[in-house]
Chain A
Amino acid sequence: MCKDCGCSLTRPSHDEHSHNHDHHTHGDLHSNPQLNDKKTLAVIHKILDKNDIEAAHNREHFAANGVTAFNLMSSPGSGKTSLLEHLHEYTELKYAVIEGDLETSRDADRLKAKGIDAYQIQTGSACHLDAFMVHGALHHVELKDLDICFVENVGNLVCPASYDVGAHLNVVMISVPEGDDKVEKYPVMFRRADLVLITKCDLLPHFDFSVAEIRAQVNKLNPNVEVLEVSIKDGESMTQLAHWFNTHLKGA
Chain B
Amino acid sequence: MHQIESSIVTALPIKYAGTTAMHEYSIVGALIAQCEQHALENKAYSIARVVIKIGVMSGVEPELLKTAFETFKLDGICNNAELEMQIQPLVIHCSDCDALTQLEERNLICPECKSFNTRLTEGEEMLLMQLELETE
Measuring CB to CB, which residues of chain A are less than 8 angstroms from any residue of chain B?
Answer: 7-9, 24, 34-51, 124-128, 130, 156, 158-159, 161-163, 187-189, 191, 219-224
- Of residues B19, B31, B116, which shows the largest number of chain A Cβ atoms within 10 Å of its Cβ? B19
Known: A161-B59, A162-B58, A219-B116. A37 touches B136 (CB 8 A): yes
Interface size of B as a range: 35 or more
Bound-state CA distance A125–B2 (Å) is: 8
Cβ contacts A to B, 13 pairs, < 8 Å: A36-B136, A37-B135, A40-B130, A47-B34, A47-B52, A47-B128, A49-B30, A124-B1, A125-B2, A159-B23, A161-B59, A162-B58, A223-B118
- Chain A contacts of B23 at CB under 8 A? 127-128, 158-159, 162-163
Bound-state CA distance A142–B15 (Å) is: 42
Q: Are B59 and A158 in contact (CB under 8 A)?
A: yes
Bound-state CA distance A45–B38 (Å) is: 11
Q: B residues 34-76 with Cβ under 8 Å of A?
A: 34, 38, 42, 44-45, 48, 52, 57-60
Bound-state CA distance A126–B44 (Å) is: 32
- Choice from B19, B33, B125, B126 contacting A156 with Cβ under 8 Å: B19
Contact of B121 with A by CB under 8 A: no
Bound-state CA distance A51–B59 (Å) is: 15
Bound-state CA distance A156–B22 (Å) is: 12
Bound-state CA distance A36–B133 (Å) is: 9
Q: Are B34 and A45 in contact (CB under 8 A)?
A: yes
- Chain B contacts of A222 at CB under 8 A? 108
Measuring CB to CB, which residues of chain B are less than 8 angstroms from any residue of chain A?
Answer: 1-2, 5-6, 9, 19-20, 22-23, 26-27, 30-31, 33-34, 38, 42, 44-45, 48, 52, 57-60, 106-109, 116-118, 120, 124-136
What's the dominant secondary structure at chain B's contact region? mixed
- Chain A contacts of B38 at CB under 8 A? 41, 43
Q: Are B26 and A126 in contact (CB under 8 A)?
A: yes
Bound-state CA distance A220–B120 (Å) is: 12
Sort A-B residue pairs by CB-CB distance and give the 8 closest, nearest first: A223-B116, A159-B23, A162-B59, A188-B59, A127-B19, A127-B22, A220-B107, A161-B59
- Chain B contacts of A159 at CB under 8 A? 19-20, 22-23, 59
- Chain A contacts of B27 at CB under 8 A? 47-48, 162
Bound-state CA distance A208–B117 (Å) is: 31
- Chain B contacts of A223 at CB under 8 A? 108-109, 116-118
B58 CB, min distance to chain A CBs, angstroms: 7
Q: Are A38 and B132 in contact (CB under 8 A)?
A: yes
Q: Are B42 and A41 in contact (CB under 8 A)?
A: yes
- Told that A41-B132, A162-B126, A187-B106 touch, could you supply 7 new A-B pairs with CB distance under 8 A? A40-B131, A128-B22, A162-B27, A187-B57, A189-B59, A219-B116, A221-B106
Bound-state CA distance A39–B48 (Å) is: 10
- Chain B contacts of A156 at CB under 8 A? 19-20
User: Chain A residue with minimal CB distance to B60?
Assistant: A162
Q: Are A42 and B129 in contact (CB under 8 A)?
A: yes
B102 CB, min distance to chain A CBs, angstroms: 16
User: Chain A residue with minimal CB distance to B34?
Assistant: A45
Known: A37-B135, A39-B135, A187-B106. A158 touches B20 (CB 8 A): yes
